[in-house]
Amino acid sequence: MSGSVWKQRFALALATMIETGNGSDADLMLRGYVSAVCARLHMPADAHDVLQETWASILTMARNHVTPPKIADLVRTIAYRRAVDVVRRRERFRSAEGAWLAREATEAVFEPDEVDVEGALATLLRCLKGENERQYSAVTLALQCSNHEEARLRWESVHSAQISPETFRQMHSRGVRKMRRYWEQSND
């Protein structure tokens, strides 16, 4: 299907969705499109996040009453931008976590007798548990699992509740920030 034909069909499917609330056609088309974009960018595992974010952007445009053909015209740009956002966010998250771990490791090397890293970590985790049990659970599970998705699934089974990847990421990053604050306060 050529690009312009796809755009026309997507605009029609989107209009049906806005008019009737039935998004099955539009979703099927966008799902295939985002999958191809993610495969092209060699990030197939992120297709779910990119799809979610692309729908969020389309919804914002629809709320502002942008017409379906204009939205369809911009879908390519939106999907690529959201894919880049997902990569950037993950990289930022990784570098923040890496910097924190590197600082811990450096301090452990230079002051081996004074800093007990595991003990300090346990203290910080205890503080977090006292303040926010769910964030504590997100941080500890992320430490135990090999990736965030796995941690999120375990979090869902532990708490018997659904949580979106974005909410889980926010919960985890808030927990880590709080622990960093406890650490800085303890060093003051």
Partner 1 sequence: MTEREDELRQAVEAAQRFDMTPVEEAFSAIALSPLGRLIETVLPTVPESEMRTTLQRIRDLKSGTLDDLFDREFQSFLISYLRTDLSELQTITQVLRTQQLVSASAADENVQLAARGGDTGGISSLELQSILNRRRFT
List 3, 5, 65, 184, residue binding partner 1 (CB under 8 A) = 65
Which residue, 58 or 171, has its beta carbon nearer to partner 1?
A: 58
In whole angstroms, the minimum distance from the beta carbon of 78 to partner 1 comes to: 14
In whole angstroms, the minimum distance from the beta carbon of 5 to partner 1 comes to: 12
CA distances to 13, 50, 107, 126 from 17, in Å: 6, 20, 56, 48
Angle at 144 between CA 45 and CA 121, to 5 degrees: 130
Q: Where are the alpha helices (DSSP H) in 68-132?
A: 68-110, 117-131
Asked whether position 79 contacts partner 1 by CB under 8 A, the answer is no
- Is the CB of residue 141 less than 8 Å from the CB of residue 154? yes
CA terminus-to-terminus distance, the chain? 63
Which residue, 65 or 110, has its beta carbon nearer to partner 1?
A: 65
- SS in 3 state form for 26-71? HHHHHHHHHHHHHHHCCCHHHHHHHHHHHHHHHHHHHHCCCCHHHH
d(CA 169, CA 149): 10
Which residue, 74 or 125, has its beta carbon nearer to partner 1?
A: 74
Which residue, 73 or 104, has its beta carbon nearer to partner 1?
A: 73
Site for partner 1 in 16-55 (CB under 8 A): 17-19, 21-24, 27, 31-32, 34-36, 38-39, 42, 44-48, 51-52, 55
Binding site for partner 1 (CB under 8 A): 8, 11-12, 15, 17-19, 21-24, 27, 31-32, 34-36, 38-39, 42, 44-48, 51-52, 55, 59, 62-63, 65-70, 73
